Amino acid sequence: MSMRTKRSVRAGQYLALLCYLVFLAFPFLWLISTAFKPAPELGSLHPTWIPQHPTLDNFRQAFDEQPLLRAAANSLIAALSAGAIAVVIATPMAYVMARHRTRLATAATGWVVVSQAFPFVLLIIPLFLVLKHLHLINTLWGLIMVYVVWALPFALWMLVGYVRAVPPELEEAAAVDGAGRLRTLVSVTAPLLAPGIVATALFAFITAWNEFFFALVLLKTPEKQTLPVVLTHFLGAEGASDLGPLAAAAFLATLPSLVLFAVIQRRITGGMLAGAVKS
């Protein structure tokens, strides 16, 4: 392949990448644009990317009409707790399943994957009854439990991959050097697993942060409701919506995930690569 052809191919690749990025970014950019548009511009036949008369009215109205801060705090508590607890439970389980490949571990992995196929509506009534029995309806504790249970199978499956990517030879070498089992786990395995743990926690966080239906069903009082539930209060029957405030509130709702991604992006990338490479 000549140098010229190579350059053309490379340019084509970059162009394709650019198109893909634009495609991915479009909904979010449009959301931002909508959030800052005044009502007449929302109903314009020729919408513009940049609001002609940018306004903060949608944000004011959104905060005025709905308890967004309280809802965001509830979401944050639920999502952070779910992420942390899921990782704490899943990590040792994943280690055992990855290092001790018995029939039971294989069957457990299969069950974990299958359990992801259950639809929400199939689970919600039994879950509701269990939580009611435990007096956990309308509590964030109850919701967190559901989120942990919901995130656990996939978290486990992810972490098993990460543990398998850590060469057992490293642990054996540590043992030969005289390190005990706990010391080996803490000093050798845990640091190598850290990116995977972060990626898994982030997955559980985002799953819980975005979740709507369980929160809608389990939380009764406005003080307990999470952000996705409160966002639906800008929607009426038959698809009617209060578009400006909805866009403003939805934009704010995406920020925590974005910030979290930005902060730990490097670790996630490392974690994903670690999970992808076999020793």
Partner 1 sequence: MRALVRTAAAAATALALLLTGCGTGGDGGTDGKIRLRFQSLAWQKESVDINKQLVGEWNAAHPDIQVQYVQGSWDSVHDQLLTSFEGGEAPDVIHDASDDLADFAYGGYLADLRALLPDRLTRDIPRQSWRTATFDGGVYGVPFLQEPRVLIANTRILKESGVRIPTPEKPWSWPEFREVTEELTGEGRYGVAWPLKEPVSVTLNLGLSAGGELFHRDADGKVTIAMGEGDQVVPGTIHDQVNTDRSAARTALGMGGGDTLPGFFGGKYAMVPLGFSYRQQVVEQAPKGFEWTVLPAPAGRDGLAQGVSPQTLSVAEDSPHKKEAVRFIDFLLRPANMVRLAKGDWMLPTGTEALADPALHTADRGWATGAALAGTLRSAPAQSVRGYPEWKDKVATPALQEYYSGAIDAAELKKRLVADGNRVLARYQR
- Cβ-based neighbour number of residue 6 at 10 Å: 10
Restricting to residues 187-216, name those near partner 1 by CB under 8 A.
Answer: 187, 190-191, 194, 212-213, 216
User: For partner 1, what does the binding mask look like between residues 167 and 186, x meaning CB under 8 A?
Assistant: -------------------x
> 191: buried, middle or exposed (CB in 10 Å: 19+, 13-18, 0-12)?
exposed
Cβ proximity to partner 1: between 102 and 177 the closer is 177
CA atoms within 13 A of residue 123's CA, in its CB half-sphere: 13
User: For partner 1, what does the binding mask look like between residues 138 and 167, x meaning CB under 8 A?
Assistant: xxxx--x-----------------------
Is 236 a residue that touches partner 1 (CB under 8 A)?
yes
Cβ proximity to partner 1: between 237 and 277 the closer is 237
User: Which two structure tokens, joined as six digits, stand for 128?
Assistant: 């509701």
User: Which two structure tokens, joined as six digits, stand for 252?
Assistant: 């704010």
Is 40 a residue that touches partner 1 (CB under 8 A)?
yes
User: For partner 1, what does the binding mask look like between residues 44 and 83, x meaning CB under 8 A?
Assistant: xxxx-------------x--xx-------x---x--xx--
> 196: buried, middle or exposed (CB in 10 Å: 19+, 13-18, 0-12)?
buried
Binding segment for partner 1 (CB under 8 A), chosen from 11-19, 110-118, 237-245, 250-258, is 237-245
- Cβ-based neighbour number of residue 188 at 10 Å: 18
Report d(CA 31, CA 258) in Å as an integer.
Answer: 14
φ and ψ at residue 235, rounded to 5 degrees:
-110, 140
Q: Which residue's entry shows tokens 């309308």?
A: 138
User: Measured from the CB of residue 144, what is the shortest distance to partner 1 in angstroms?
Assistant: 7
User: Which residues, other chains included, contact 6 with Cβ-Cβ below 8 Å and sequence gap of 6+?
Assistant: none
Which residue ranges make up the site for partner 1 (CB under 8 A)? 39-40, 42-47, 61, 64-65, 73, 77, 80-81, 84-85, 121, 124-125, 128-129, 132, 135-141, 144, 186-187, 190-191, 194, 212-213, 216-217, 220-222, 224-225, 229, 232-243
